[in-house]
Amino acid sequence: MKKRKLPEMMKSALLTIFLVVVTGCTNVTGDAPRIISSLSDERLRTDHLFATADTFFSEAGYACNTDAEAGQFRCSRELRDLYIHQTTAEVNIYPVDEEDKTHRMIATRWDEGLIPSELISNTYANDDVEAFCVFLASEKLGRCSDYKG
């Protein structure tokens, strides 16, 4: 019995399909950046803000950590974990100005997998970040405003 060879064009097509399946896509989109500042003349301390954010976001299902040396707070939570596609929400808080103790909060969504970017929304609003801002205001710890930069 004689072995059949694949035509060159079919080899190229199969290789392309294989590479698309193996490589996948990574897409990142972000919520509007926010500035967190204190409500009164009392300055919002970074360590207190990070501890408050850790409690709040941990209760919302995020895995959080603080890098005190770098002065950053980071949380992440899986939104979708399918065999072919994973989506993760990430929240970062870091000091902007040591003088007035303002902090910047940035929320992003990471999509990784086999779904092309054309099929994924390029807008993102993190409801947990909005709820955290409401919490800060209700506890009179701080207020959030849109970053204008």
The model carries a pTM of 0.78
Tokens of 25: 């896509």
Amino acid sitting at position 97: D
Task: Give pLDDT tens digits along the chain (149 positions).
Answer: 566 666 666 666 666 665 555 556 778 888 889 999 987 766 678 888 999 999 999 999 999 999 878 889 999 999 888 878 888 999 999 988 767 678 999 999 988 877 666 677 778 889 999 999 999 999 888 999 988 87
Strand partners, 113: 25, 85
Closest among 17, 30, 29, 27 to 115, alpha carbons compared: 27
Distance CA 95, CA 36 (A): 9
